[in-house]
Amino acid sequence: MINQSPLNPKSPSSIDLTGMPREFHLAHTLATGLYGDEFIDINMDADVVGIQYGFNVNQEEIFRFLRKETVDISAITMFCIYLYEHFDLKGNANYGFLCPNMNQEATDHDTRINYVAEVILKGTRKYYLAPYHEGNHWTLCVICPNLNEVFWFDSIGGRPTKQIKQIIDASFAQASLKGRKPVNRYKTTKWTVCPCPMQPGSVECGYYVMRFMYDIISAQTNQNMNKIFAPHKKYTQGDLDIVRGMWCKALCKYSL
């Protein structure tokens, strides 16, 4: 739903969409039609990320996405909703999501721990995909509550940061105190750094995380997460444009 504002329209952004599929052009048309401080309101069902959550997407966020620039938290959140619907994950025993906004570094420390702990304690999925934004960089944590394990995917080859390890380790500990017991042998959270495609530049991380999530769910595998991607696998721009196109379709759908 588009939230109306009486302010003057912004000038359309110059974006080259030559040769791109129809959904990219529709998203661009939608964005250029937003006036002043208008934005698109989106509501997320509680089953997607464990809480009822509302957010919005504005014109410049859409333009940044179409320019292949940095990806905003709202864009990643909307893509989680799209994947939930695309793969029909309602009631699915394998895959769920954590809310990117609730799990990002700007959110209060205790709020983050309480949220993740509640998902670990009450969630029924085997894996929870948790896009994580810290220091202007997107990574993906895949949390497996039953195994007390976290799998880390980073398109620049980094290791889990101290901040995210503290949050998730504390969440597991809090869930354990409330009665959640892992079924494996690990008494503390096990972190595994997984091989994954590497980004060539400085701004692609958000698109890589989107593609990681799509590929992980598409695999529908019970094998260890560190075997999802073959060593030295690379993404082409075409690979990334597939998930970018999905995002554009979602934007058009949720703007109605």
64: tokens are 């940044």
How does pLDDT run across 125-180, given as a tens digit for each residue?
Answer: 999 999 999 999 999 999 999 889 999 999 999 999 999 999 999 999 998 888 77
170: tokens are 């504390």
Residue 107 lies in a domain: yes
C-alpha distances in angstroms, 238 versus 111, 179, 250?
38, 46, 19
How does pLDDT run across 25-35, given as a tens digit for each residue?
Answer: 999 999 999 98
Residue 14 lies in a domain: no
Is 53 in contact with 80 (CB distance < 8 Å)? no
d(CA 115, CA 103): 8
d(CA 133, CA 23): 27
Q: How far is CA 232 from the centre of its chain?
A: 23
DSSP state of 225: G
What pLDDT was estimated at residue 177?
84
Residue 103 lies in a domain: yes
Residue 6 lies in a domain: no
Find, among 215, 256, 200, 254, the residue nearest to 68 by Cα. 200
Is 68 in contact with 238 (CB distance < 8 Å)? no
Angle CA 105–132–75, to nearest 5: 105
Report the domain count for the chain.
Answer: 1
Residue 8 lies in a domain: no
How does pLDDT run across 88-120, given as a tens digit for each residue?
Answer: 999 888 999 999 998 888 789 999 999 999 999
Is 148 in contact with 190 (CB distance < 8 Å)? yes
What pLDDT was estimated at residue 10?
42
The parent domain of residue 185 ranges over: 19-254
d(CA 135, CA 60): 21
Residue 228 lies in a domain: yes
- CATH number, position 250: 3.40.395.10
Pairing state between β 190-193 and 127-134: unpaired
State yes or no: pLDDT of 191 exceeds 70: yes
Sorting pLDDT into bands at 50, 70 and 90, what band is 3?
very low
Residue 236 lies in a domain: yes
Residue 206 lies in a domain: yes
